[in-house]
A and B are shown apart, each in its own frame.
Chain A
Amino acid sequence: MALLSKKDTNLILDPLADNNPITIQVLGICSALAITAELKASLVMAVSVIFVMGVGNVVISLMRNIIPSKIRIIAQLIVVATLVIVVDQVLKAYQYELSKTLSVFVGLIITNCIIMGRFEAFALGNGVWRSFLDGIGNALGYGVILIIIGFFRELLGSGTLFGIQVLGDPIAKTGLYAIGYENNGFMIIPPAALIVVGIIIWVQRSRNPALVEEN
């Protein structure tokens, strides 16, 4: 017997491609714009969201039968806020510089609509194990897009990856810069992320025309 049944596998794999929270459901765009100028920040954000969503979905799923439905949003907010504070404190303790870069956006994970969306749509109505898989899957789908955007924005905008210069030194003019290449300042500013997201959506839908919505 496989570790995961086919249905469970789909819970993880679907959000990675054909039901991606960013490119298909178009949720969580704010953070995708704000923190993807560097790959490292994108990665940390992705890991944080994976943690918050995995654990959060489990907690909500455990409590799903005792939360009165009238105050369920508040209950969800408390769960997600608690988890976000844990993430924030861990970052401050071990990655202080990075937490300054991410600044308010770690706190704003609370408002990430993907998380509340999954709590509402999935964890409130499903068992613990499946909720966990769903949380991980959606957060992975979010993280993958974040990392793709971060990769292109950092490479083209700063010529670095994880802060390491891969295209040569722009100040000493080595590598590509020696022949006149320059970093693209447009990729640093947030609108560039919108355009990269748009291109990802475009590529994805032209590869899989079934995803194109009818007007």
Chain B
Amino acid sequence: MQNKRSGSLTLVPYYVWIALFVIAPIILVGYYSLLDLEGNFTFENYKNFLTPVYLKMTLSSFWYAFLITLFCLVVSYPAAFIISRLKNKQLWLMLIIIPSWINLLLKTYAFIGILGQSGPINAFLSAIGLEKQQMLFTSASFVFVSVYIFIPFMILPIFNSIDKLSPALLDASRDLGASRLYTLRRVMIPLTMDGIKAGIQAVFIPALSLFMITRLIAGNHVITLGTAIEQQFLVTQNWGMGSTIAVFLIIFMFIIMAFTGEKRKKGASRRDKN
């Protein structure tokens, strides 16, 4: 489409952007993580991170991010498949995407009302003669609301890869005697792996650093690394410690990217040949 020279010229804005808004901030975060409150050079922040409080927090961040991603995947994969087989699939897809246009905070506040003691769910429970349930401020409600918020980000990439998958392949598999489950396991999932990986990336990484929702929906019963960063920067104004947590978060993210991103190219080229 383009010759090489104009190609490299059009890449200049991209490189400038990456340098200014990706590389430079990461270097700054790394720099600040080595400073104490008075601005002196120190490794104290890293030592502090490797104490039980922060390690436990890291563990629970990963656990909840894992749960959120898992539930998102379990809901999104069948949903994306069904949508891709519908007549007005773009319209249905649109209906799922629209909620993601609404501000995150507004959606969260809406859930405070829905899940509260005087909310519609508890009103319904007491109307049919059941006892009211404490739903707000539990880790279950935190996972539920987060899954709701992240589902569009999981469905989109999965839908795209399922949509590109030729139905003929599934038919062929069935004709050759594979069971439904076997077809799903050996044909469909491997061929849509790119979408699944992209979806996991789009959900797991932001889920790792969620904050706000941990307070509003979980009432601080769930503490993630994101919560700790927010507190270090805004309340304690200890930029060093906040940056140190951020450094670890960035490292974790790179690891996840490496795991979910590496084989993608191979998968893509294989499919291109099809």
Say whether A associates with B.
no
Residues of A within 8 A of B (CB): none
B residues contacting A by CB (< 8 A) are: none
